[in-house]
Amino acid sequence: MGPPIAYHPVRMVDTGAVEAAVAALRAGQVIGLPTETVYGLAGDASNPDAVRRIFTIKGRPATHPVIVHIASLDEMSRWARDIPPAAMALAERHWPGPLTLVLPRAPQTPLEVTGGQDSVALRVPSHPVAQAVLRAFGGGLAAPSANRYGRVSPTTAAHVRDDLGDDVAIVLDGGPSDVGIESTIVSCLNGRVTVLRPGVIGADAIAATVGTLDAPDATMPRVPGRVESHYAPRTPVQLVDEDALDGAVLAHVQAGRRVAILARSGQTEHAPVDAQPVSDNDAGLVIVGAADAVTYGRELYAHLRRLDHTDADVIVIARPPRGDDWAAVHDRLGRAATR
Ligand code: TXA
Ligand code: MG
């Protein structure tokens, strides 16, 4: 069934901030919105100008579709048509939560949202702030991850500010994202059920609900998350097997390169400096990631950002273990290492 997913403890929702955000959304503005996966750059999905604004700020090509976030599965039919039973079963099992369903587009869903495609991606986020905004807004919110195109997704409000600066007037702070990795995307088109992007809801969990999964094929919709180089820090990332880590680091050091390291406990002889305050320009940073996949995934993007902010010439990452629980982490690490 995949790893257990931490859902939110009750968190205070600042109703004044939510009201201001909803007013901005009604005026066609975009906001930084916390979700349980990563922070989103959200705008009114029924307003093509607002959607175009999202693409402009993100620097994302207009042909790439964005996910429509809705408050509950009751709103699916406002955006999608001909919803197959497999999709309903997945929605009932996993919403609210880190699952996105790709479905046939309803006629009224703007093509700006779907990148011109005849399908639409829908998700019901569980984060209490996202839920509060969606319910007060009363419509759907188009929201890609709130990072510049191709970069590491944000998992805190500060990450959104770092990336987007004054391009967004309002960034709601919902604390660090619990899941930390983008939602699992499942296509439910043409009678097939296919995982387009792995996430913490694993392929095994999807299969447990729908029976069998289909393999992706050439007719599958475009997903920029499947473009190889994505989620990438600016500093080159080298991904190595655990037993090759120390040799790889040594080779860089001998060549005069400054190295920052992400390993897991017991994977490196290099002393972690994570416990002490580290300056932003400190190459030689060693971050020791969590032993379990859920915590490692939750912290991964914050770790990558921190490693990227050193003046290291290269980030060396030790591959975590194989296994279903780690599939989403391996996917993101592989992309971070591709340029
Ligand atoms: O966890 C998440 O999914 C986060 C939070 C904010 O909800 N959002 C997110 O959005 O990761 P974004 O835009 O960074 O990635 C969404 C992915 C893209 O790869 C996009 O191509 C895919 O969803 N997508 C959106 N609409 C689609 C469609 N109609 N068909 C296929 N893929 C679609
Ligand atoms: Mg993204």
- pLDDT tens per residue, range 244-286: 998 999 999 899 999 999 998 766 666 555 434 344 445 678 8
254 alpha carbon to ligand 1 midpoint, in Å?
42
- 135-178 pLDDT, tens digit each: 999 999 999 999 998 889 999 999 999 999 999 989 999 999 99
The reply to whether ligand 1 has any atom less than 6 angstroms from the CB of 37 is yes
What is residue 244's DSSP assignment?
A: G
b (16+ CB within 10 A) / e for 166-203: ebbebbbbbbbbbbbbbbbbbbbbeebbbbbbbbbbbb
Residue reference for tokens 């296509």: 187
Angle between helices 85-94 and 203-210 (to 10 degrees): 120
Ligand nearest to the CA of 223: 1
What is residue 149's DSSP assignment?
A: T
Higher pLDDT, 150 or 98: 98
* Of the candidates 196, 331, 317, the residue with the CA atom closest to the CA atom of residue 267: 317
Amino acid at 269: E
Helix (H), strand (E) at residue 131: helix 128-137
Higher pLDDT, 96 or 6: 96
Hey, which bits of the chain come out as E strands? 31-33, 40-44, 67-69, 99-104, 119-123, 141-142, 170-171, 184-187, 194-197, 237-240, 259-264, 286-289, 314-318
Cα dihedral 174, 179, 182, 183 sign: negative
249 alpha carbon to ligand 1 midpoint, in Å?
35
Q: Name the maximum alpha-carbon separation found in the chain.
A: 61
319 alpha carbon to ligand 1 midpoint, in Å?
26
d(CA 223, CA 294): 24
Please tell me the total number of residues recorded for the chain in this structure.
339
Q: 229 pLDDT exceeds 60?
A: no
* pLDDT given at position 17: 93
The reply to whether ligand 1 has any atom less than 6 angstroms from the CB of 145 is yes
d(CA 77, CA 280): 48
* Of the candidates 87, 337, 329, 35, the residue with the CA atom closest to the CA atom of residue 200: 329
Average pLDDT, the chain: 89
* pLDDT given at position 80: 98
The reply to whether ligand 1 has any atom less than 6 angstroms from the CB of 185 is yes
* Confidence tier at 325 by pLDDT (50, 70, 90): very high
The reply to whether ligand 1 has any atom less than 6 angstroms from the CB of 182 is yes
121 alpha carbon to ligand 1 midpoint, in Å?
7
d(CA 235, CA 251): 17
* pLDDT given at position 268: 62
| Residue 322: strand, helix, or coil | coil
Q: Which of the residue ranges 76-85, 255-264, 305-314 has the most confident prediction, judged by mean pLDDT?
A: 76-85
Residue reference for tokens 């790439």: 64
Mean pLDDT of 190-196: 95
- 17-66 pLDDT, tens digit each: 999 999 999 999 999 999 999 999 999 999 999 999 999 999 988 889 99
| Residue 278: strand, helix, or coil | coil
* pLDDT given at position 60: 87
Residue 31 half-sphere exposure toward CB, CA atoms < 13 A: 28
Q: What percent of the chain has pLDDT over 70?
A: 87
d(CA 202, CA 211): 14
Q: Which atom of ligand 1 is nearest to the CA of 181?
A: 1
* pLDDT given at position 300: 96
Amino acid at 338: T
Retrieve residue 203's tokens.
Answer: 């392929």
Q: 6 pLDDT exceeds 60?
A: no
- 210-226 pLDDT, tens digit each: 998 988 765 555 554 44
d(CA 75, CA 138): 10
The reply to whether ligand 1 has any atom less than 6 angstroms from the CB of 216 is no
d(CA 176, CA 251): 36
d(CA 34, CA 31): 10
- Contact (CB, 8 A) for 151 and 232: yes
> Which residue, judged by its Cα, is nearest atom 13 of ligand 1?
144
